[in-house]
């Protein structure tokens, strides 16, 4: 009877080689499956890490954006407060300047009114003095005319009496000398009366001419004095007042224009501040996006990815 072979020991060399090949193929297939499984696992893990990285990046960007917006808003609020204080201080200074200019203007108006009153008083005094002079001249003229009238009336009465006496004499003696010519004294008397009449007329005309000439001379003398006093009052006293008044009015207009410019600038600042508040607190606010801080170190092959919360990242960044 043939000898019994041991269990597993009766295989030939070829069978062992085949068995080893099959075993090697099985191990190789197993290794490939493990490698494929590991590859799929790593790919899945990489995708998860990429998704987590994107989410963390988005959270960091949002947090960074909010922090920048808050910081910028605080800075803008501080700048607006400083600008408002500066504007209020400038407005106070301008109000003080305007009050001073108004006080100067009132003082100038008071001085102008005082100068005008003094000028009118001087003119009234000159007019009163001229009226007194004219009144005295009129009185002198009336006195002269009265004396002249009394003298002429006396001479006229004398002449009338003499002429009446001569006429009576001539009428009493017409029969004694009817055919004779008039007496020689009659022609002399007639010439004397004629010369007396013309002399009286010439004296009256001379008196009137002298009075008119004196009045005209006095008026020509007083008129340039009045004009000179009026010009002196207008230019010597009112000229500095008018200069100060014009300067005050011009400065007041300049300050009013500057105040209007500052008011317009303040309105623009208030509009910008309101727009900024709406942009920060609104639902559709425009946010400033800045790049999150990253490292420049190249990633290692065996480097592990860690998920970091955005709060910790923001805390360390601040």
Domain assignment of residue 290, yes or no: no
Q: Between 308 and 40, whose confidence is greater? A: 40
Domain assignment of residue 178, yes or no: no
Under a CB-based contact definition with an 8 Å cutoff, are residues 287 and 65 in contact? yes
Domain assignment of residue 105, yes or no: yes
The string of DSSP letters for 148-214 reads HHHHHHHHHHHHHHHHHHHHHHHHHSTTTSSSSPPPHHHHHHHHHHHHHHHHHHHHHHHHHHHHHHH
CA–CA gap between residue 288 and residue 281 (Å, rounded): 14
What band does 227 get if pLDDT is binned at 50, 70 and 90?
Answer: low
Q: How much is the pLDDT for 193?
A: 61
Domain assignment of residue 292, yes or no: no
Please state the pTM of the whole predicted model: 0.31
Domain assignment of residue 9, yes or no: no
Domain ranges, residue 127: 20-160+191-283+309-317
Q: How much is the pLDDT for 145?
A: 78
Domain assignment of residue 13, yes or no: no
Domain assignment of residue 174, yes or no: no
Q: For the chain, what is the mean pLDDT?
A: 72
What band does 209 get if pLDDT is binned at 50, 70 and 90?
Answer: low
CA–CA gap between residue 289 and residue 69 (Å, rounded): 9
Q: Between 285 and 58, whose confidence is greater? A: 58
Mean pLDDT is lowest, of 30-34, 49-53, 144-148, 227-231, for: 227-231
Percent of the chain with pLDDT over 90: 19
CA–CA gap between residue 291 and residue 283 (Å, rounded): 23
Would the pLDDT of 280 be above 80? no
HEC profile for 22-58?
HHHHHHHHHHHHHHHHHHHHHHHHHHHHHHHHHHHHH
Domain assignment of residue 141, yes or no: yes
CA–CA gap between residue 73 and residue 285 (Å, rounded): 13
Taken as a whole, the chain contains a residue count of 318
Average pLDDT over residues 265-281: 68
Domain count, the chain: 1
């Amino acid at each position: 009877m043939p000898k019994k072979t041991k269990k597993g020991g009766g295989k030939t060399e070829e069978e062992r080689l085949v068995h080893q090949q099959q075993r090697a193929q099985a191990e190789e297939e197993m290794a490939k499956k493990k490698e494929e499984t590991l590859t799929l696992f790593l790919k899945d893990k990489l995708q998860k890490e990429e998704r987590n990285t994107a989410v963390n990046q988005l959270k960091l960007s949002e947090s960074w954006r909010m922090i920048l917006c808050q910081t910028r808003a605080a800075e803008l609020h501080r700048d607006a407060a400083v600008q408002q204080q500066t504007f209020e201080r400038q407005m106070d200074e301008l109000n003080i300047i305007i009050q001073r200019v108004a006080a100067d203007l009132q003082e100038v108006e008071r001085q102008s009114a005082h100068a005008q009153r003094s000028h009118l008083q001087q003119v009234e005094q000159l007019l009163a003095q001229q009226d007194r002079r004219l009144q005295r001249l009129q009185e002198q003229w009336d006195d002269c005319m009265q004396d002249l009238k009394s003298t002429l009336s006396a001479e006229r009465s004398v002449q009338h009496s003499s002429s009446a006496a001569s006429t009576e004499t001539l009428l009493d003696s017409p029969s004694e000398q009817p055919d004779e010519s008039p007496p020689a004294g009659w022609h002399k008397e007639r010439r004397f009366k004629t010369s007396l009449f013309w002399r009286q007329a010439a004296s009256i005309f001379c008196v009137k001419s002298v009075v008119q000439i004196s009045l005209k001379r006095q008026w020509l003398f007083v008129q340039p004095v009045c004009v000179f006093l009026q010009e002196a009052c207008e230019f010597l006293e009112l000229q500095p007042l008018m200069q100060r008044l014009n300067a005050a009015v011009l400065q007041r207009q300049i300050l009013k224009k500057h105040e209007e410019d500052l008011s317009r600038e303040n309105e623009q600042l208030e509009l910008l501040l309101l727009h900024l508040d709406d942009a920060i607190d609104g639902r559709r606010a425009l946010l400033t996006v800045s790049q999150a801080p990253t490292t420049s170190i190249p990633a290692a092959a065996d480097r592990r990815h860690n998920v970091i919360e955005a709060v910790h990242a923001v805390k360390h960044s601040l």
